[in-house]
Amino acid sequence: MADDLGRRTTRHAVVIGGSLAGLLAARVLAEHAEKVTVVERDRFPEGPEARPGVPQGRHIHVLIAGGQQAFDELLPGFTDELRELGAPKVGVPEDMVQWQNGKWFDRTPPTLHFYAGPRPQLEWLVRQRVFADPRVELVEGHETVGLIGDSSRVRGVRLRERGAGAEKETRVLEADLVVDASGRSTKAPDWLAAIGAEAPHEDTLDTGLAYSTRVYRAPDGALGSDTMGYFIVPNPAQQYGAVVLPVGDGHHLVTLSGLRDDRPPTEEEAFEEYTKRMPHPVISEWLATAEPVSPVYGFRKTANIRRRYDRPGRRPAGFLATGDALCAFNPIYGQGMAVAAISALALRRALADPKRTPTTQRVQRALLDASKPAWDISAGSDKKMPGAVGDTTKPGPLDKAVGWYMGRVQQRAAGDPVVGAAFREALHLTAPMTGLFAPAVARAVLFGPVAESPAGPPLRRDA
């Protein structure tokens, strides 16, 4: 079979990992392959429940506007179904009390919305839709332990029943195309090296950020005001962060974050004490009235990691990487689920492109390009944090000028509606970062005053 992923019939595609990225990739591949097999280490729960293979699944997740558009294109009506399941719809900036760079944001009418809600609920809904397609099959409880093929072409994967031990025999699952969606802890670089191919270079940037999350229920099921959530955004001068968001049924997830030298605790009593490090006691005061209804869950793997399969090297045909296996972001920016869907759309467009042959290299580049806007936001912000390490911390030739401009953007985003709307569109992945340099926005950034913002947390919309 030639290195052509779309012009000839792909008889069988294997997706490693039943992550969101893997499920959505399987959805797209089913449009081209006779059969798609998703190989998952876990056994999926029957309902919308957390599973071990998604260690960050108990923490706050949001489906930002760019992700909503992509999900609805891949799975028509998806966000309607999500809303029917009770996922709260939060408008920004109106529904959030937000502090960033020393300023409280005006709670003006929303320009964008995101969906909050438990990640297991969203994953369950995706599974229901994807596996309803008879062309998509599932192999559960099996881990991928290697690739079949050589440095010129991947021809399948080697599987072993999970928990069977290294001495257990493996079995081969042949495939015309293998897609790695196994997450940020992927073993694909080792698998490629084992068949004589070249592991990709990795771009890394790690601030040491860690976070801890707990579920709370307030007596009235709300935050004691007409806001739906609180958001304290960390920056180089103020390194502590906090997010409080509803997940339905009167419950709220509270996530606290800090850097490696002062990580948020997982001990229950210390968790609430940690909120006193924030620049304002608004969250600490609300927690004093709320009832904790879960343990504290910690998460520490938050480095930005990008695997450069697009660069020259011995790259076998028939192998692609997507999702966190390709590009993993600091989760604090809330982009992961959106990028999983945007990447699946990029896969669809690359495979169906009538003008260009969808070679492995070309499709892989399209997947990397789909993740670039989120990478630029996450890595670009993180490199400014104290103690950041990695090979992408060194400023580039334009970083100083862009950093100066973005500093002015952030100063004005809290109170200037034009700058604020453009800033949110970039963060929500509904418009490119270049939108921040559009004439109307640039005029406000370069020549406009810094608008007065609320002196304290605006707990009421008319504050």
Q: What is the pLDDT of residues 57-113, one digit of tens each?
A: 788 999 999 999 999 999 999 999 999 999 999 999 999 999 999 999 999 999 999
Distance, in Å, from the CA atom of 458 to the CA atom of 98, rounded to the nearest integer, reads 9
Using pLDDT thresholds of 50, 70 and 90, give the confidence band for residue 131: very high
Identify the pLDDT of residue 196. Answer: 97
194, 144 Cβ separation under 8 angstroms = no
Question: Domain 209-299, what fold?
Answer: Alpha-Beta Plaits (3.30.70)
Identify the pLDDT of residue 1. Answer: 35
* Alpha helices in 225-359, H assignment, sequence order: 268-274, 282-287, 336-352
Using pLDDT thresholds of 50, 70 and 90, give the confidence band for residue 236: very high
Using pLDDT thresholds of 50, 70 and 90, give the confidence band for residue 165: low
Identify the pLDDT of residue 9. Answer: 56
Q: Mean per-residue pLDDT for 267-294?
A: 94
* Alpha helices in 99-243, H assignment, sequence order: 119-130, 188-194
What is the CA angle 300-376-449, rounded to 5?
Answer: 110
Q: Where along the chain do its domains lie?
A: 10-61+123-204+302-380, 209-299, 399-447
283, 232 Cβ separation under 8 angstroms = yes
Using pLDDT thresholds of 50, 70 and 90, give the confidence band for residue 194: very high
Helix (H, G, I), strand (E, B) or coil at 423: helix
Measured CA distances, 399 to 97, 381, 384 (Å): 30, 11, 11
Distance, in Å, from the CA atom of 93 to the CA atom of 428, rounded to the nearest integer, reads 12
The two structure tokens encoding residue 338: 């959106």
Residue 189 has pLDDT above 60, yes or no: yes
Identify the pLDDT of residue 164. Answer: 64
How are beta strands 33-39 and 10-16 bridged, if at all?
parallel
Of 12-26, 44-58, 426-440, give the lowest mean pLDDT range: 44-58
In this predicted model, which residue has the larger pLDDT, 285 or 219? 285
Region for residue 68 given its phi and psi (left: phi exceeds 0; alpha: psi -120 to 50; beta: otherwise): alpha
Query: Per-residue pLDDT tens for 339-367?
Result: 999 999 999 999 999 888 899 999 999 99
Identify the pLDDT of residue 166. Answer: 62
Please determine, looking at this structure, whether the domain spanning 10-61+123-204+302-380 carries the CATH number 3.50.50.60. yes
Helix (H, G, I), strand (E, B) or coil at 274: helix
Region for residue 414 given its phi and psi (left: phi exceeds 0; alpha: psi -120 to 50; beta: otherwise): alpha
Region for residue 77 given its phi and psi (left: phi exceeds 0; alpha: psi -120 to 50; beta: otherwise): left
- The residue type found at 244 is V
Distance, in Å, from the CA atom of 222 to the CA atom of 98, rounded to the nearest integer, reads 17
- The residue type found at 58 is R
Using pLDDT thresholds of 50, 70 and 90, give the confidence band for residue 462: low
The two structure tokens encoding residue 29: 């591949």
The Cβ-side half-sphere exposure at 309, using a 13 Å CA radius, reads 27
The two structure tokens encoding residue 80: 């309607």
The two structure tokens encoding residue 5: 């992923």
Distance, in Å, from the CA atom of 414 to the CA atom of 419, rounded to the nearest integer, reads 8
Identify the pLDDT of residue 423. Answer: 96
Residue 174 has pLDDT above 60, yes or no: yes
Helices and strands (H, E) in the chain, number of each type: 12, 21
Residue 303 has pLDDT above 50, yes or no: yes
Percentage of residues in the chain with pLDDT exceeding 90?
81
Percentage of residues in the chain with pLDDT exceeding 70?
97
Query: Per-residue pLDDT tens for 369-391?
Result: 999 999 999 998 999 899 999 98
Region for residue 436 given its phi and psi (left: phi exceeds 0; alpha: psi -120 to 50; beta: otherwise): alpha
Identify the pLDDT of residue 35. Answer: 97
Identify the pLDDT of residue 14. Answer: 98
Residue 2 has pLDDT above 50, yes or no: no
Distance, in Å, from the CA atom of 392 to the CA atom of 142, rounded to the nearest integer, reads 35
C-alpha gyration radius of the chain: 22
Residue 427 has pLDDT above 80, yes or no: yes
Residue 4 has pLDDT above 90, yes or no: no
The kind and range of the H/E element at 98 are strand 96-100
Distance, in Å, from the CA atom of 170 to the CA atom of 184, rounded to the nearest integer, reads 24
Note if the bond before 93 is cis, omega within 30 degrees.
yes
Residue 245 has pLDDT above 50, yes or no: yes
Distance, in Å, from the CA atom of 188 to the CA atom of 23, rounded to the nearest integer, reads 18
17, 182 Cβ separation under 8 angstroms = yes
SS3 content of the chain, % helix, strand, coil (to 5): 30, 25, 45
Q: How far out from the chain centre does Cα 312 lie?
A: 27
336, 167 Cβ separation under 8 angstroms = no
Identify the pLDDT of residue 222. Answer: 76
Measured CA distances, 158 to 149, 169, 252, 320 (Å): 10, 10, 42, 16
Identify the pLDDT of residue 7. Answer: 47
Residue 265 has pLDDT above 50, yes or no: yes
Instruction: Quote the mean pLDDT of the chain.
Output: 92
350, 320 Cβ separation under 8 angstroms = no
